[in-house]
Structure 1
């Protein structure tokens, strides 16, 4: 079975590179590209990908909001990509429905593995100490409240990711 991939990044050169990496496999193919979160939602609706490779920061609608909308509607699973090594992004993307989070400096093989894992319905474990700590605390609080966050449906999902998903002053500069 071929995994259908949508690549969403505001930088054309990065999109081309990601498409090239996916093209090196025999079990994955790129079915579409998008330069904004809004385009990613539109193209996902048209192409029905299995996995969306989504940049965190994009104009018009950032990748975090687009991820929440895509996963909430059941259009596709999402692997978030960014150059920013911030635990806050890891936490927010996973709480927002993403199946995985990778830094853009990850080896190509890690990207291909992430696509396969997320397409299979599994989640990539976070590889950031700050996100690991926040997820552990969330699990502890949920268990104290009598719910099991690791069992689907036992914890109500938020309507959207927390609003404080941008580090710094809340500006969203045109940086990937």
Structure 2
């Protein structure tokens, strides 16, 4: 079954180039394209869209605002296309629940791989984006009580903060993917967080 994709970018050349390139992968079906976040939201509401690939800076409604609305009102997952000078946007997108963060200047195969990973239930943050975000967060660390977590849960939290997928965490900790999912569910329940990307932020902010 193909991944149903929406591409949203206000640059027509980038938008159409991505449509052509991503459509060449047999596992991806580009359902529609949009030039702003409001139109992307409308498409996601009216169609079954598995992944919405959103540019950050767009007119009418930017990618961060669109991510919040799409995630709260549909079952679509969101991947943010970003650049190095959009730190504040990245932070807000993280809070809004986007599942992927990738730089625009990546080769097509990396963008395709990110789409497939997010579609399979993983969160993906490009290492360079993650490191920059982490550097900005370190200066404003909060103290978080770890007494509520088991030792294994803390290991899972750390692994998530390193950007590892469920499969990679399972391999690293010598447990099944199903067990990893159970640990993540427990962590979310204990913290009141809503998705695994927020767990990474939770860890980056610091523990007691």
Q: Determine the structure 2 residue equivalent to 1:131.
A: 133
- Do structure 1's residue 152 and structure 2's residue 154 form an aligned pair? no
- 24 and 133 in structure 1: CA distance in 2 versus 1, 3 angstrom threshold: same
Alpha-carbon separation, structure 1, partners of 2:3 and 2:141: 31
- 144 and 56 in structure 1: CA distance in 2 versus 1, 3 angstrom threshold: same
Structure-to-structure mapping, 1:1-176, within 5 angstroms? 1-127=1-127, 128=129, 129-133=131-135, 141-143=143-145, 151-156=187-192
- Helix, strand or coil at the partner of 2:80: strand
Alpha-carbon separation, structure 2, partners of 1:18 and 1:52: 13
Number of residues paired by the alignment? 158
**Comparing 35-44 and 75-84, the one that deviates more:** 75-84
Decide which structure has greater helix share. Answer: 2
- Helix, strand or coil at the partner of 1:118: helix
Following superposition, the deviation at residue 157 of structure 1 comes to: 5.3
- Helix, strand or coil at the partner of 2:90: helix
- 126 and 89 in structure 1: CA distance in 2 versus 1, 3 angstrom threshold: farther
Alpha-carbon separation, structure 2, partners of 1:139 and 1:124: 23
Contact kept? 1:68, 1:97, Cα under 8 Å:
yes
Task: Select the structure of larger CA radius of gyration.
Answer: 2
Bigger relative contact order (CA 8 A; separation at least 6):
1
What CA RMSD, in Å, does the superposition of the two structures yield over aligned residues? 2.7
**Comparing 25-34 and 141-150, the one that deviates more:** 141-150
Where do 5+ consecutive residues of structure 2 fail to align?
158-183, 195-208
- 125 and 136 in structure 1: CA distance in 2 versus 1, 3 angstrom threshold: farther
- Helix, strand or coil at the partner of 1:44: helix
How high is the TM-score relative to the length of structure 1? Answer: 0.77
